[in-house]
Amino acid sequence: MRLSIGSIAQRRAAALVAAIALTVGACGGSSASASPSNGPDYVVLATTSVFADIAKLALGDTVTINTIVPAGVDVHTFEPSPADAQKLTDADLIVMNGLGLDEWVLTLLEGAGKTEADVLELGEDLTGFEYIESTEEEHEAGAEEGETDEHGHGGTDPHIWLDPAGAQLYMERIAKRVSDDRADLADRIALAFGEGVDQLTALKNDVAAKYAAIPAEKRKIVTFHDAFGYYARAYGITIVGVAVEAPGQDPSAQEIAALIEAIRAAGVTSIFSEVQFPSKVLDQIAAETGAVVLEDLYSDALGAAPADTYVGAMQKNADAILASFK
Ligand SMILES: [Zn+2]
């Protein structure tokens, strides 16, 4: 069969898969223990709806993709159930972010008959996406209250996927691993990956062009939790403040007062809630500053169509933030 490979992205994908094939050949069978699946199907289990859709961008319909945390539910404070452990048992590959976001999945491995060899961490050790540290004040505030930050960010920002360039690195990692595990799917994955990269490239170019049309000094936002650091870096946005450093950590009265002061000083007129979090704190801040709480941003979870895909959610985010600058 002759395949017509039309785009640069698809050629890049083919090169990636060729490189993977060489690696598999050189290492000689080490992947057999990590991948017990011999059947026609291969099941990827993602911790969140976001990573499931990024896996879909990378793999298309070449495999089955399942999710643990449902759309619209908070990953940071998620409590897995026995049914979730069964999902792990049924999976060939477990896809998580790491960096303190979804470490709870590791506690399910042993009971589900899995090991860390069955897990792919998308966010660890990505060049250009080393930790963005939270502010020193936030660290100190947490330490004083004796918080262990078990479900939180641990003083770092795990939200690499909110920069599409980071999402593409996630895609590459997923495509490489599954092609590694299942050489018989590698050609089809290469094609699906190329199409996914084309979609992501269109998103990147569109959103970057829209932000470039806004003067830099107008690009200021306030969000619910400390999730948009990489996003802000990608588009030259200043994060004036966040209501909570990580979900489950309520801000102190002093922290709220400091944020209100920062919002007034920066002249921010709109603040953003996030889909999976109630926004009582934001409502209070809005009441005291006169700022308006705008429609939900998508950070850790996807939502209803058209935000039921990564690309759709990122477009909705860009539209909402850009509208607030007008
Ligand atoms: Zn988060």
Alpha helix stretches (DSSP H) within 60-125? 82-90
Distance 27 CA to ligand 1 centre (A): 37
The domain limits of the chain are: 8-22+38-203, 206-324
Give me the mean pLDDT over the 80-107 stretch. Answer: 95
Segment 197-227, tens digit of pLDDT: 999 999 999 999 999 999 999 999 999 999 9
Residue written as token pair 């990580």: 246
Asked if CATH classification 3.40.50.1980 holds for the domain at 8-22+38-203, the reply, yes or no, is: yes
- Whether the bond into 215 is cis, omega within 30 of 0: no
Bridge-based pairing state of the strands 93-96 and 43-46: parallel
Report CA(76)–ligand 1 centroid distance (Å). Answer: 6
- Is pLDDT at 49 greater than 60 in this prediction? yes
**245 CA distance to ligand 1 middle (Å):** 9
For the cut 50, the answer to whether the pLDDT of residue 48 exceeds it is yes
Q: Which residues contact 185 (CB under 8 A, 6 or more apart)?
A: 42, 62, 63, 178, 179
CA dihedral sign, ordered 145, 150, 155, 161: negative
Q: Give the per-residue pLDDT at 326.
A: 79
Query: In the chain, pLDDT over 90 holds for what percent of residues?
Result: 66
Quote the ligand 1 centre to 177 CA distance (angstroms). 25
For the ranges 2-6, 87-91, 179-183, 269-273, the lowest mean pLDDT is seen at: 2-6
Looking at residue 110, its pLDDT comes to 96
| 176 alpha carbon – ligand 1 mean position (Å) | 26
Mean of the per-residue pLDDT values for the chain? 83
Predicted confidence at residue 131, as pLDDT, reads 65
Q: Is the pLDDT of residue 107 over 60?
A: yes
113 phi/psi in degrees, rounded to 5: 75, 25
Please, which residues have CB within 8 angstroms of residue 325's CB and are 6 or more apart in sequence?
214, 218, 219
- pTM of this structure: 0.81
Closest CA to 273 of 226, 225, 323, 314: 225
Residue 7 clears pLDDT 70, i.e. is over it: no
235 pLDDT exceeds 70? yes
CA–centroid distance, residue 307 to ligand 1 (Å): 17
Least confident of 7-11, 49-53, 190-194: 7-11
Report angle CA 211, 208, 294 to the nearest 5 degrees. Answer: 45
Q: Per-residue b/e over 216-228, b at no fewer than 16 CB within 10 Å?
A: eeebbbbbbbbbb
Task: Please tell me the predicted confidence (pLDDT) of residue 133.
Answer: 58
Dist. CA 225 → ligand 1 center (Å): 7
* Per-residue pLDDT reduced to its tens digit, 14-30: 445 444 444 433 333 33
User: With 60 as the cut, is the pLDDT of residue 59 above it?
Assistant: yes
Structure tokens at 191: 């094609």
What pLDDT is recorded for position 139?
38
The radius of gyration of the chain's CA atoms, rounded to the nearest angstrom, is: 21
In this structure, the dihedral spanned by the alpha carbons of residues 184, 187, 189 and 192, taken in order and rounded to 10 degrees, is: -150
Question: 193 or 25, which is more confident?
Answer: 193
pLDDT at 147 over 60: no
What is 206-324's CATH superfamily? Nitrogenase molybdenum iron protein domain (3.40.50.1980)
How far, in Å, is the centroid of ligand 1 from the Cα of 35?
30
Nearest CA to 308 out of 67, 79, 104, 98 is that of: 67
Separation of CA 151 and ligand 1 centre (Å): 10
Q: How far apart are CA 165 and CA 160, in angstroms?
A: 9
Confidence at residue 26, expressed as pLDDT on a 0 to 100 scale: 38
Both ends of the chain: CA-CA distance in Å? Answer: 53
Q: What angle do CA 181, 187, 190 make, to 5 degrees?
A: 90
Tell me: pLDDT of 11 over 80: no
CA atoms of 257 and 266, how far apart (whole Å): 14
Ligand 1 center to residue 96 CA distance, Å?
13
